[in-house]
Homo-oligomer: A and B are copies of this chain.
Amino acid sequence: MRAAGIIVEYNPFHNGHLYQVKKIRHELHPDVLIAVMSGDFTQRGEPAIISKWQRTKMALAAGVDLIIELPYIYAVGRADTFAGGAVALLSHLKVSHLVFGSELGRIAPFLNSIEQVKNHRKLYQDALAAALSQGISYPNAHAAAYQAVISESGSEFVDLRQPNNSLGFHYIQAIHRNKSSMVPVTFKRKEAGHNDAAFDPDASIASASSIRRCLFSGSTLEQLRGKLPETSLSLLIEEKKKGRLVDWETFFPYLKYRILSSSADQLGQIVEAEEGVENRLLKYIGQSETFEQFLSLVKTKRYTWVRIQRLCTHILTHTLKSEAKEAAVQQPAYLRLLGMSATGQHYLSELRKSFAIPLIAKIRQHHPEELTPDLRAAQIYDFLSGRSGETPTETGHPPVRYGS
């Protein structure tokens, strides 16, 4: 059976994502298409604009067969943690092909690059350490070390300064580390750069961040028609009417309260609080009226915007280093099912007995310890975005079913 796996955030699901789904169907003809998706918070450390349940509906409507939640600890992690968690889940799900979009669009240079880094590990690590010691941020130090390694050789390599190339690189590294038999496949992304906010009113594909910006600006939602599938657009319109579209500014008062009520020692116990950055948070929080202003004040060359943003997410969800450590050392301990088509359901009923970790369809009141960070993050997201009055709540929410 051919099972294609993708790693997604769908924040929100738009025509670029739809293009990827169709491309995979057309090129690979998979029997089932499985997505591992971030929950309510994303890898860049932002609350998703709309909850994971709605994003699951969008994905199912567009033809994805199974949506499995990437646990919070991995979803809001550095690229290597994110990739490691997602690849492990796809591997547990018996995925045969891992498909990812990239700026490059061909797989060979990725494999060359991985090979090259592996063969020059010492050179790579020395360059990384040298860059870090100069106070350069981790992603930039990683890029510099990589550059040092590939300049040694004449083969074709992938440009890791491009964000989707970089993610793909981490996926393939994770496949190798997992000794998984999954075959990596890449297609060229059809959209503006990942974080490009430019918005072309005539184009049918716009980046997720430009769509989010449009939703938060005063502009009419009509501008978005033609950029998202109908299900995505109508769910967004519905939630916008209820005042439930979320960005960091929505949650900022709670972050501010949390930091004001914490000591430096307490903040130091939070995931990604390193090298005394907690003192900068405490120094600037009092005078900050918005999240944007706060991050502009705290950010330095060493502490990038995204790194601080992830730290702020962990502060908001009160996720401790001790919790993240256990998760990172071990591997994801469960498969949390968010949604399934009839095909997805069939796939699960055929294969779930062979899965090495449990498939969790509903979180019960009494649940395994490992689910605590996910449940906490979801409850906080639901409460702060005005969804906590909903039935069912996160505990007891059944998977979304589609087309059965």
Contacts and interface: CB of A to CB of B under 8 A. Distances in A.
Interface of A: 254, 256-258, 260-263, 286, 289, 316-318, 372, 376, 379-380, 383-384, 388-389, 393
A289 B389 contact: yes
A79 to B, nearest CB: 26
A380 B257 contact: yes
* Copies of this chain in its oligomeric complex: 2
Contacts of A261: 258, 316-318, 376, 380
Contacts of A376: 260-261
Contact of A260 (B263, B379, B389): B379
Contacts of A262: 318
Nearest to A263: B372
Given A261-B317, A261-B380, A254 B254 contact: yes
Which DSSP category, helix, strand, loop or mixed, fits chain A's interface?
helix
14 contacts: A254-B254, A254-B257, A257-B258, A257-B380, A258-B258, A258-B261, A260-B376, A260-B383, A261-B317, A261-B376, A261-B380, A262-B318, A286-B393, A289-B389
A383 B318 contact: no
B318 A380 contact: no
A317 B316 CA distance: 16
Contact of A286 (B258, B260, B388): B388
- Which of A262, A286, A380 has most chain B Cβ within 10 Å? A286
Contacts of A286: 379, 388, 393
Contacts of A263: 372
A384 B257 contact: yes
- Which of A260, A262, A376 has most chain B Cβ within 10 Å? A260
